[in-house]
Amino acid sequence: MSILYLPRQLQGRPFTVREALDLGLTHADLGTLRLPAPTRGVRTEAQPGCLGERCAAFATVMDGDFAFSHLTSGGLHRLPGSTAMDADPTTHIIRRSSEAHVRRRGVRGHRGYECRAIEEVDGLPVVGLTDTWVDMGELVGPGLPVGLDDLIVMGDAIATRLRSVEPLRQALATRVRPRGKLTLLEALESVRVGSESPAETRTRLVLVRGGLPEPILNDPIRTRSGVFVGRPDMKYKNPVRIAVEVQGHEFHSGSEERVCDEARYADFGKEGYEVVPVWSDDANSDAGRSALVLNVAQILCFPRSRLTLDECAPRFFSRRMLELAELRKSRRARGQ
């Protein structure tokens, strides 16, 4: 007679087929229950609905030392990723160099576990933050999901979480010839402590690449008596006070949010700060980026002749990658 329910010992977690058989179930019983199989030899009561649940299913059949790495590690650490990065369904698992790659459908195996710092995240073994960032260099290049600005955005998030850029620099220096090193090094030049969202990082890159000075990130504005007024996303203090506020449609487009923003901006104004709101269109088009840089430059009385408006666009490839591409193109042309 077929069973109708799972034994209590198997409920609420992924389990191996071997565990079920050892408890007296048969393959026919498992077939009758029509349980999802996230990976070979594993069953769950419901299809895994999030990254953590999917990784927990894979962890059930892993033996020896292993950890989730690369894009999977980034997701488990809740680091920001691009659309291409988030769309990649691959589960990345790293093992010791002396062991074979994990070979399972939907898994990309890596080796070098012993060279990474490993942390526990939600009960799962995960490559540490800084080593995850260095590992992203393997996924940089034409046809791959990670670009230069993605590394800067993720680097900002990690540096802000750790309150220093130095751990990223040390992690990269520790590796022997890591893939994507040149792009990682170029990204590291632009990583800063203080950015609290990808939109803030990308706005800062627009301003700096446009030739403007580095803004101060998420630094409080206080009255002369020391009373806290607010903390703008970015600000300039000299020669003119400017508060740059990145406006996400999700949190700032409603009428109530706008009333709160206007009151906040009025408080900044009382302390001598002119507020420059930045919406997504201001950072996502050539015209918007140029207009943003010109607006801030005008308020700062910054010479237009020193602006580099043609360099404001997002960058996927590093300078060195572009140079190498031009070199290859030149060689092919000479060969013809």
- Alpha-carbon distance of 309 to 89, in angstroms, equals 37
pLDDT tens digits, one per residue of 99-143: 988 999 999 999 999 999 999 999 999 999 999 999 999 999 889
Q: Tell me the two tokens of residue 318.
A: 């590093």
| Structure-block tokens of residue 26 | 């048969």
CB 316 within 8 A of CB 147: yes
Q: What average pLDDT does range 213-239 have in this prediction? A: 95
Q: What are the distances in angstroms from CA 179 to CA 103, 135, 184?
A: 22, 8, 9
Q: How confident is the model at residue 325 (pLDDT cuts 50, 70, 90)?
A: confident
Model confidence at 330, in pLDDT bands (50, 70, 90)? Answer: confident
Mean pLDDT along residues 254-259: 70
List pLDDT tens digits, range 276-305.
999 988 888 999 999 999 999 999 999 999
The pLDDT tens digits for 166-176 are 999 999 999 98
For 236, counting Cβ atoms within 10 Å of its Cβ (0-12 exposed, 13-18 middle, 19+ buried), the class is: buried
259 or 94, which is more confident: 94
- The alpha helices in the chain, defined as continuous H runs, are 17-22, 27-33, 51-60, 70-76, 83-87, 129-135, 148-162, 166-174, 181-190, 198-209, 249-252, 255-270, 280-283, 286-300, 319-335
What's the pLDDT at 4?
66
Decide if pLDDT at 21 tops 70: yes
CB neighbour class for 312 (10 Å; exposed up to 12, middle 13-18, buried from 19): buried
Percentage of residues of the chain with pLDDT beyond 70: 96
What pLDDT, on a 0 to 100 scale, did the predictor assign at position 127? Answer: 98
pLDDT band at 259 (very low <50, low <70, confident <90, very high): confident
User: Model pTM?
Assistant: 0.90
Q: Are 48 and 40 in contact (CB under 8 A)?
A: no
pLDDT band at 248 (very low <50, low <70, confident <90, very high): confident
From the CB of residue 131, how many other CB atoms can be counted at a distance below 10 Å? 26
CB atoms near residue 319 (< 10 Å): 12
Residue 228 DSSP SS3: strand
Residue among 233, 303, 223 at smallest CA distance from 275: 233
Average pLDDT over residues 198-216: 97
pLDDT of residue 166: 98
Average pLDDT in the chain: 92
Tens of pLDDT, residues 44-102:
998 998 999 999 999 999 999 999 999 999 999 999 999 999 988 999 999 999 998 89
pLDDT digits (tens, 9 = 90+) for 300-312: 999 999 999 999 9
The whole-angstrom separation of Cα 56 and Cα 53 is: 5
Residue 322 — pLDDT band, cuts 50, 70, 90? confident
Q: How many other CB atoms are found less than 10 A from the CB of residue 296? A: 25
Of the pLDDT bands very low, low, confident and very high (cuts 50, 70, 90), residue 257 is confident
Predicted pLDDT at 1 = 42
